[in-house]
C-alpha cells in the first residue's frame, strides 16, 4: 500500500483533505491546489464554508481569487460533512491546540477530529498532524486510536507529525519555501509523509520520530518566548535608567555574529509563542522535571500588560489626568503588524485591564473593522477611523500593534499623549512615552 500511495501522490492523483480551514489550513490547501492536487477542506464552522462557497475569504491576506479557479474546476470543495473523508488519500489536521485556564493542554479539537474521521477513512490513507503540541502526542493520542480502529500503522494506515511554520504576510517566507519538518510513526510512514510534502514544499527535513518533530516546534517557539522575555525584562531596567531599549537592540544588531535581535512589546500574542512552551512544561511534570526557564519567561511576558497599564497611568498623571475616566485609544488589536489575526493578542488584555480601571477605551485597527470574540473576551466594538479630530479627543493613544497602514504622522501631530510599546516614535519624555 505504501508504494501505491506514494505513486498516487507523485502523479498528483491523490485527493488531499485539510481539516481546519484557518490561518494554517487554508494556505496549505492553496499550496496543494497550486500543484494540481484535488483538495477537500473540512471545518466545523459553517460560516467559513458558507463564505468560501459565496466567493469570499474570511482571512484578509488570503483573497478568494486564490481559490476561485480551483473551486470552479471542481478541484477544491469545502464542507462540514466529514463522511466525505472516505474519498481521501491523505488527511492533514490543522487544528487549534489551546491551553485551558490552568495552562494544561486542550487537545479536544485534535481528539474529536481524529475520532470523527477515522470511521470514514479507507485503507492506505496518510494522516498528518500539524497542530503544535507536546512531544509524544502523536504516539499517545493519534496512533493508538488508529490501531483501535483496526488499522496497522505503517502497513495499511500511515501516521506522521509535521509542524506548521506559517508566518502570515511575510513576503520572504511562504508555505512553499519554509522548510518542512516531518517525523513518522514508522519508517514507512515517514517515507509516505516525505513524498506528500515534497510534492508541495521546496525542502522537507526528515527526523527520526514524531516526538522529535513535535519537540522541534516546541524548541522554535520556546526560543522566541524566552528571548522576548529577556528583552521585555531589560526594557523595564533600561526605562528606569533613562535608556530606550529599542535603541539598545538596534545598536546591538550591528554585531555580525553571536546576536539575534528580539524586540520588546506589550506582551505575547499569536497562536504559538504564548502557548507552545507550556505544552513542554506540562509534559515535563510527567517526568518529575521543572522547566524553570520557560516558566520564568512566561511570568515576565504575562506581566507586560500590567507594566504598560502602569506607564499609561503614570503618563496621564503627569498630564494631570487620572486613568479612571480617561479616554484611551488602543492602536492595533491584532497580535502582529499587518494581519487581521487577534488570537492571544495582548491588546485584548490591555483593553480589559483599562476598562476595569475605569478608562473609556476604544480601538482603531485597519485590519479589523469589528472585534471578533476571543476565548476569554467578547468586547462589542468597532474600529475608530483616524482623523485629526478623532485623534485629538483621546487623552492617551496607546500603540499596541504597529500596522503599516496607520498614518503615523497624523497620529504624532494630533495626539495629546502617546504611549508607545513598539518603538514607532523617538521618545520625547513628555508627549511620547515608551512602554
Ranges of H-type helices in 11-64: 25-34, 46-53
How far is residue 360's CA from residue 382's CA, in Å, rounded to a whole number? 14
Positions annotated as catalytic residues are 272
DSSP 82: G
Buried b (16+ CB within 10 A) or exposed e, 21-59: bbbbbbbbbbbbbeeebbbbbbbbeeebbebbeeeebbb
The count of residues in the chain is 435
How far is residue 302's CA from residue 197's CA, in Å, rounded to a whole number? 36
DSSP readout, 290-304? --HHHHHHHHHHHHH
Helix (H) or strand (E) holding 420: strand 418-420
- CB-CB neighbours of 379 under 10 Å: 16
How far is residue 416's CA from residue 431's CA, in Å, rounded to a whole number? 7
DSSP readout, 183-244? EESSHHHHHHHHHHHHTT-S-EEEES-HHHHHHHHHHHHHHHHHHHHHHHHHHHHHHHTT--
- CB-CB neighbours of 294 under 10 Å: 21
Three cell numbers, residue 350: 490591555
Phi, then psi, of 79 in degrees rounded to 5? -155, 160
Q: Are 413 and 387 in contact (CB under 8 A)?
A: no
How far is residue 412's CA from residue 403's CA, in Å, rounded to a whole number? 15
> What is the Cα Rg of the chain in Å?
24
Amino acid at each position: 500500500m505504501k508504494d501505491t500511495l506514494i505513486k498516487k501522490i507523485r502523479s498528483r492523483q491523490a485527493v488531499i483533505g485539510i481539516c481546519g480551514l484557518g490561518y494554517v489550513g487554508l494556505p496549505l490547501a492553496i499550496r496543494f491546489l497550486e500543484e494540481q492536487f484535488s483538495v477537500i477542506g473540512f471545518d466545523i464552522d459553517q460560516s467559513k464554508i458558507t463564505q468560501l462557497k459565496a466567493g469570499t475569504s474570511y482571512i484578509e491576506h488570503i483573497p478568494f481569487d486564490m481559490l476561485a479557479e480551483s473551486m470552479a474546476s471542481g478541484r477544491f470543495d469545502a464542507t462540514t460533512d466529514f463522511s466525505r473523508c472516505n474519498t481521501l488519500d491523505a488527511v492533514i489536521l490543522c487544528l487549534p491546540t489551546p491551553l485551558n485556564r490552568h495552562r494544561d493542554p486542550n487537545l479536544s479539537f485534535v481528539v474529536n477530529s481524529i475520532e470523527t474521521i477515522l470511521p470514514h477513512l479507507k485503507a492506505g490513507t496518510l494522516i498528518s498532524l500539524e497542530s503544535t503540541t507536546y512531544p509524544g502526542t502523536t504516539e499517545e493520542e493519534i496512533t493508538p486510536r488508529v490501531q483501535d480502529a483496526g488499522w496497522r500503522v505503517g502497513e495499511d494506515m500511515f501516521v506522521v507529525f509535521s509542524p506548521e511554520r506559517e508566518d502570515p504576510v511575510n513576503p520572504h517566507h511562504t508555505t512553499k519555501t519554509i522548510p518542512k519538518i516531518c517525523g513518522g510513526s514508522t519508517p514507512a510512514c515517514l517515507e509516505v509523509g516525505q513524498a506528500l510534502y515534497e510534492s508541495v514544499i521546496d525542502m522537507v527535513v526528515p527526523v527520526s520520530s514524531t516526538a522529535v518533530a513535535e519537540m522541534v516546534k516546541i524548541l522554535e517557539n520556546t526560543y522566541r518566548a524566552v528571548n522576548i522575555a529577556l528583552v521585555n525584562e531589560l526594557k523595564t531596567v533600561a526605562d528606569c535608567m533613562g535608556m530606550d531599549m529599542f535603541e539598545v537592540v538596534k545598536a546591538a544588531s550591528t554585531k555580525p555574529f553571536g546576536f539575534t535581535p528580539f524586540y520588546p512589546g506589550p506582551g505575547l500574542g499569536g497562536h504559538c509563542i504564548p502557548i507552545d512552551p507550556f505544552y513542554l512544561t506540562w509534559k515535563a511534570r510527567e517526568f518529575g522535571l521543572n522547566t524553570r526557564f520557560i516558566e520564568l519567561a512566561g511570568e515576565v511576558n504575562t506581566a507586560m500588560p500590567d507594566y504598560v497599564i502602569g506607564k499609561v497611568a503614570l503618563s496621564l498623571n503627569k498630564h494631570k489626568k487620572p486613568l479612571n475616566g480617561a479616554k484611551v485609544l488602543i492602536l492595533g488589536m491584532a497580535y502582529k503588524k499587518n494581519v487581521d489575526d487577534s488570537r492571544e493578542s495582548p491588546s485584548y488584555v490591555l483593553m480589559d485591564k483599562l476598562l476595569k480601571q475605569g478608562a473609556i477605551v476604544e480601538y482603531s485597527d485597519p485590519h479589523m473593522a469589528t472585534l471578533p470574540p476571543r476565548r476569554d473576551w467578547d468586547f462589542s466594538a468597532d474600529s475608530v477611523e483616524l482623523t485629526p479630530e478623532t485623534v485629538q479627543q483621546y487623552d492617551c493613544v496607546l500603540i499596541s500593534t504597529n500596522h503599516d497602514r496607520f498614518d503615523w504622522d497624523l497620529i504624532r501631530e494630533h495626539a495629546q499623549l502617546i504611549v508607545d510599546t513598539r518603538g514607532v516614535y523617538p521618545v520625547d519624555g513628555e508627549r511620547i512615552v515608551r512602554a
